[in-house]
Amino acid sequence: MRQDLKNISARVSSIAPFHVMRLLERAKQLESQGHQVIHMEVGEPDFQTPAPIVDAGIAALKGGQTFYTPAPGLPELRQQIAAFYLERYQATVVPERIFVTPGASGALLLALSLTMDAGQEVLLPDPGYPCNKHFIELLSGSARAISIANHPKKKLMPEHIRSHWRNNTCAALVASPANPTGTTYSVQEITDLHLACRENGGVLLLDEIYHGLDYEDNISSACQVSDDIIVVNSFSKYFGMTGWRLGWLVVPETLCEMTNRLMQNIFIAASTPAQYAALSAFQPDTIKVLEQRRRCFQQRRDYLLPQITELGFKPLGTPSGAFYLYADCSDLADNSYSLCETLLEKYHLAITPGADFETTSPEKFVRFAYTTDMDKLKIAVERIRQWKRDTSE
């Protein structure tokens, strides 16, 4: 017998759906009707997981590695992540501070659980990664999204932190490179953000999930700045392992014991075969493949950025990392949501409306994900050009 649930928690009912999922569903319908849809909506690399990682995962499964690992993760994987920090960033991070998690999503949930209490507030840039607000609300806190559009750098800056910090504020959370703008924070900017949080008795959380997908000077990790910054990372994007659900969290030494307890209780541990597979992620032959892919993403950005600018979109900030271009489309259309619908329905091009990322001016912005090959990007640009011709007739 079916019984309707009467009590759905208020926390859960305030969680908004992703518009992009609806667009994706519609894009799939159009494809099933025989249309060639160009996908620039979803934030995952179009490359498969590199072969050495897949092989290691298969070998682990065949070798019977199907049991729980220790809660903080396989010791040898934590070692390898620590060695990666030393090699790539010249940052010393002891393995005991590294916790292997179910994706950056798991790391974000742990990081926020460690830092905030019910009723507390976390500062976030607007636009930003939409799930952060929902994680905070699930923990009965509130997210304070601060518009960065008026700042010349289009990033959350120390002055934002100082002017918006209130008695119940406990942390600021930013991503570098950022989703959806692709902007990155320099070592000086991270230091200044960290100091602004510290002087208010709070903590900085830095999401570095798009590290490795950065296209300018060497990107800095918060691990180079201070052991007190909580750092989120993942195997999803640079390592091409979205579906394996594996990430990690770096915490200050004082939080290791509590993080261990949280890991045990919330997740028990991250996926065992995925952790064994990730042991091959840092091998030179894997890194070689990943670096080739990085160059591909850079070529795509270098192609797309001038093209969409010429078409009349105005990118917000300098997109120097990740695989997104977030651009103001208000000179071209009154409403970004209907622009996305028209481009999908009539031109079979899927991009994401600003409503998924911001509350300040969602109707003015769209996000392009260049997670598709150059040939398709060229078709996408041509389709937008055609839409412009059609609408000016």
Ligand X SMILES: Cc1ncc(COP(=O)(O)O)c(C=O)c1O
Contacts with ligand X in 305-344 (CB under 6 A)? Answer: none
Round to whole Å and give the CA distance between 230 and 351: 32
Q: Which residue number, 136 or 332, has a Cβ lying nearer to ligand X?
A: 136
Angle between helices 336-347 and 374-392 (to 10 degrees): 110
Q: CB of residue 288 vs ligand X: minimum separation in angstroms?
A: 23
Q: Exactly one of 169, 176, 221, 234 binds ligand X (CB under 6 A); which one?
A: 234
Query: Which range, of 74-82, 97-105, 153-161, 298-306, touches ligand X by CB under 6 A?
Result: 97-105
Paired tokens of 26: 């519609």
Q: Which residue is nearest to ligand X (CB)?
A: 103
> Site mask, ligand X, residues 179-218, x = CB under 6 A?
x---------------------------x-x---------
Round to whole Å and give the CA distance between 337 and 365: 9
Q: CB of residue 237 vs ligand X: minimum separation in angstroms?
A: 7
* Residue 79 is a binding residue for ligand X (CB under 6 A): no
Paired tokens of 379: 């078709």
Q: Which residue number, 80 or 179, has a Cβ lying nearer to ligand X?
A: 179
Q: Which residue number, 242 or 260, has a Cβ lying nearer to ligand X?
A: 242
For residues 37 and 27, is the Cβ–Cβ distance under 8 A?
Answer: yes
* Residue 95 is a binding residue for ligand X (CB under 6 A): no
Beta carbons within 8 Å of 126's beta carbon, 6+ residues apart: 145, 146, 147, 148, 358, 359, 360
For residues 174 and 193, is the Cβ–Cβ distance under 8 A?
Answer: yes
Cα angle 166-115-197, degrees, rounded to a multiple of 5? 45
* Residue 109 is a binding residue for ligand X (CB under 6 A): no
Beta carbons within 8 Å of 215's beta carbon, 6+ residues apart: 294, 297, 298, 301, 320, 321
Closest Cα to residue 231, out of 267, 196, 193, 200? 193
Q: Which residue number, 234 or 271, has a Cβ lying nearer to ligand X?
A: 234
> Site mask, ligand X, residues 145-184, x = CB under 6 A?
------------------------------x---x-----
Query: Which range, of 99-107, 150-158, 269-277, 284-292, touches ligand X by CB under 6 A?
Result: 99-107
Q: Which residue number, 60 or 173, has a Cβ lying nearer to ligand X?
A: 173
Closest Cα to residue 108, out of 182, 179, 22? 179
Q: Which residue number, 37 or 100, has a Cβ lying nearer to ligand X?
A: 100
Per rule CB under 6 A, count of chain residues that contact ligand X? 13
Round to whole Å and give the CA distance between 124 and 111: 14
* Residues contributing to the site for ligand X (CB under 6 A): 43, 103-105, 129, 175, 179, 207, 209, 234, 236, 242, 247
